[in-house]
């Protein structure tokens, strides 16, 4: 029979006695379920029940059951029976936390422990576990004394399914063994996704995955793979670990700015778990450049020719769209309208230094400004040098500078000054454009004239005036 609260029935059948008086008086019965002596049992102290139920709370054991049948005169016959009581293995409810993520623990436990044997229950149960579906045959009540009714099982890698085992053991070595399955889900790796922007148009941004991590050591040791989409399209990304690559960074070229292109990336583990990321790259416009040229120095009254040549922009889109230009002849106070013409003209009205500027801009209005100082040379005024010669000695002749001209309107407006040399040296400059030269003798007189503008520009002219000899005359009086 099995240990526990259940009972086993022991009964007397077909009692007999040669004495009809004893039989008529009835028999009495005494029992001992523990095998104890029945020497003290009497007819009067015993009962008439022909059977008894004996409970054997613990096994394995072989208790002896004793019984006596007694007549009214105290005569008795005693019987003994050996009983085999089997141990019953304890039971429990086996539970495992599932599913879990890789790199984490599942709690496995035995709860609601039960044993029909009170002594087994009172003694307490011992437990053994295997997180790896290992053999628990070596687990005994003695060598599992320190174990609790639960344990934690760590599972590094998923997706996977793992069989876990547990035993509950009573003091007699009886045990029940259970199994359960723990499902371990893969966890996608994570990383930091970044770019080295802002960058200038026409250059490349470096896109990088850094600080990759995965709760699975197996995934980490296998190495991660990466994929990038410089065009920002999911369809340009690899879809599997095998299709992705080992490099953690790439470069993406961006021709035109200002722009904020999106770059996407994925990090894969060996199980094709992935995390997707995006980063927005700031692409700055770069102003075009050119060589600013002019034809200086120039003479006053002439034009200054300006040009912007050897244009360059790192953006092919900007270069293809073409550039616009404008010029300033007064240090940026006023500008010519923007146009597609890369040359400009600045008229001059006076000598000095002219501060000129030029600008080039692209379709995104990125502008470069250039400056230069152009020297405008003064030009001496001109005139027609005339005289009233030849004259006779003793007469005067006139010198003149007429039809004055200066390419500078400012000089012309300011007026000119003149100086003349009648042959004996220049007189002072004045606003008078003519002079009278007396003569005292015949000969050829070398004469000169100068015209001067406000800036000191001088043009000198020379001429020869013939002074004729005049025959002397005499007055004759009387005859």
Binned at pLDDT 50, 70 and 90, residue 474 comes out as confident
The model's pTM: 0.74
- The CA distance from 24 to 35, in Å, is 30
What is residue 479's predicted lDDT score, i.e. its pLDDT? Answer: 57
Q: Which residues of 294-316 are buried (b: 16+ CB within 10 A; e: fewer)?
A: bebebebbbebebbbeebebbbe
Are 304 and 294 within 8 A, CB to CB?
Answer: yes
Third-level CATH fold of 91-185:
Immunoglobulin-like (2.60.40)
Q: How many residues comprise the chain?
A: 479
Q: Would the pLDDT of 473 be above 80?
A: yes
Would you say the CATH fold of 382-468 matches that of 91-185?
A: yes
User: Can you tell me the mean pLDDT for 6-32?
Assistant: 91
What is residue 56's predicted lDDT score, i.e. its pLDDT? Answer: 87
Return the closest-CA partner of residue 65 out of 1, 15, 115: 1
- The alpha-helical segments, DSSP class H, found in 356-433 are 409-414
- The CA distance from 237 to 240, in Å, is 9
What is residue 4's predicted lDDT score, i.e. its pLDDT? Answer: 80
Average pLDDT over the chain, rounded to an integer: 96
Residues contacting residue 149 through CB under 8 Å, at least 6 positions apart: 92, 109, 110, 111, 113, 125, 127
Q: Which CATH number does 382-468 carry?
A: 2.60.40.10
Q: Which CATH number does 190-284 carry?
A: 2.60.40.10
**Domain 289-377, second-level architecture:** Sandwich (2.60)
Per 3-state DSSP, the chain is made up of helix, strand and coil in percentages (nearest 5) of 5, 50, 45
Please provide the distance, in angstroms rounded to a whole number, between the alpha carbons at the two ends of the chain.
Answer: 209
Domain chopping of the chain, boundaries: 7-82, 91-185, 190-284, 289-377, 382-468
Angstrom distances, CA of residue 40 to CA of 45, 74, 77, 440: 9, 11, 14, 198
What is residue 7's predicted lDDT score, i.e. its pLDDT? Answer: 72
Residues contacting residue 63 through CB under 8 Å, at least 6 positions apart: 33, 34, 35, 54, 56, 82, 83, 85
């Amino acid at each position: 029979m099995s240990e526990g609260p259940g009972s086993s029935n022991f009964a007397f059948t077909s009692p007999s006695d040669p004495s009809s008086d004893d039989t008529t008086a009835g028999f009495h019965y005494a029992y001992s379920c523990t095998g104890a002596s029945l020497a003290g049992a009497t007819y009067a102290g015993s009962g008439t029940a022909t059977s008894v139920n004996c409970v054997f709370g613990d096994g394995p054991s072989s208790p002896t059951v004793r019984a006596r049948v007694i007549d009214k005169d105290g005569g008795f016959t005693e019987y003994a029976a050996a009983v085999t009581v089997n141990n019953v293995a304890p039971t429990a409810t086996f539970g495992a936390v599932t599913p879990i993520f890789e790199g984490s623990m599942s709690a496995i436990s035995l709860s609601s422990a039960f044993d029909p044997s009170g002594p087994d229950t009172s003694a307490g149960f011992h437990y053994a576990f295997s997180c790896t579906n290992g053999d628990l045959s070596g687990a005994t009540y003695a060598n599992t004394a320190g174990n609790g009714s639960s344990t934690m099982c760590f599972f590094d890698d998923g997706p996977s399914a793992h069989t876990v085992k547990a035993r509950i053991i009573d003091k007699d070595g009886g045990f029940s063994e259970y199994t359960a399955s723990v499902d371990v889900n893969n966890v996608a790796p994570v990383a930091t996704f970044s770019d080295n922007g802002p960058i200038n148009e026409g250059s490349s941004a470096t896109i990088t995955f850094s600080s990759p991590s995965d709760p699975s050591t197996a995934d980490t040791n296998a190495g991660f793979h990466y994929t990038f989409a410089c065009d920002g399209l999911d369809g340009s990304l690899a879809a599997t670990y095998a299709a992705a690559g080992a490099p953690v960074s790439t470069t993406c070229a961006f021709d035109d700015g200002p722009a904020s292109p999106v770059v996407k990336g994925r990090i894969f583990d060996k199980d094709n778990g992935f995390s997707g990321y995006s980063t927005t790259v700031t692409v700055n416009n770069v102003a075009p450049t050119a060589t600013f040229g002019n034809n200086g120095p120039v003479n006053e009254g002439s034009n200054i020719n300006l040009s912007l040549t050897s244009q360059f922009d790192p953006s092919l889109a900007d270069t293809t769209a073409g550039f616009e230009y404008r010029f300033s002849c007064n240090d940026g106070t006023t500008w010519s309208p923007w146009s597609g013409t890369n040359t400009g003209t600045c008229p001059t009205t006076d000598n000095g230094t002219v501060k000129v500027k030029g600008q080039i801009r692209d379709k995104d209005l990125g502008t470069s400004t250039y400056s230069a100082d152009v020297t405008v040379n003064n030009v001496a005024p001109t005139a027609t040098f005339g005289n009233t010669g030849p004259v006779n000695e003793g007469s005067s002749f006139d010198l003149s500078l007429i039809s004055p001209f200066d390419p500078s309107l400012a000089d012309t407006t300011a007026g000119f000054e003149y100086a003349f040399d009648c042959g004996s040296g220049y007189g002072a400059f004045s606003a008078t454009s003519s002079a009278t030269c007396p003569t005292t003798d015949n000969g050829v007189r070398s004469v000169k004239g100068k015209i001067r503008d406000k800036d000191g520009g001088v043009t000198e002219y020379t001429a020869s005036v013939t002074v004729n000899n005049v025959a002397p005359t005499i007055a004759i009086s009387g005859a």
